[in-house]
Amino acid sequence: MSFSKHNKLYVSDYTKFLTEMKQKNPALDEKQRLGRLIHWDKAPLDLDTRRRAEESRIKQQAYVYQTKH
């Protein structure tokens, strides 16, 4: 099932760049997965830990650079 009548042989410069980069560095996919694990896929906090973190948070004043005299 074809959704487009455009040329099927066309490959964008961006796609060419990514394909060449992945061919030159085969470990790139694994590095991307590890980076995602570090920065995005984190284990959820349990409810007690989350409640204690919210309770210990100090409310910030409206204008942080103003000193109270």
With b meaning 16 or more CB within 10 Å and e meaning fewer, what string describes 7-37?
Answer: eeeeeeeeeeeeeeeeeeeeeeeeeeeeeee
> Whole-structure pTM over 0.85, yes or no?
no
Q: Which residues contact 29 (CB under 8 A, 6 or more apart)?
A: 22
Q: What is the pLDDT of residues 1-55, one digit of tens each?
A: 555 666 778 999 999 999 999 999 989 999 989 988 888 887 888 899 889 989 9
Q: What is the DSSP letter of 65?
A: T
| Rounded-to-integer distance, Cα 40 and Cα 35, Å | 8
Handedness of CA 13, 8, 19, 34 (dihedral sign): positive
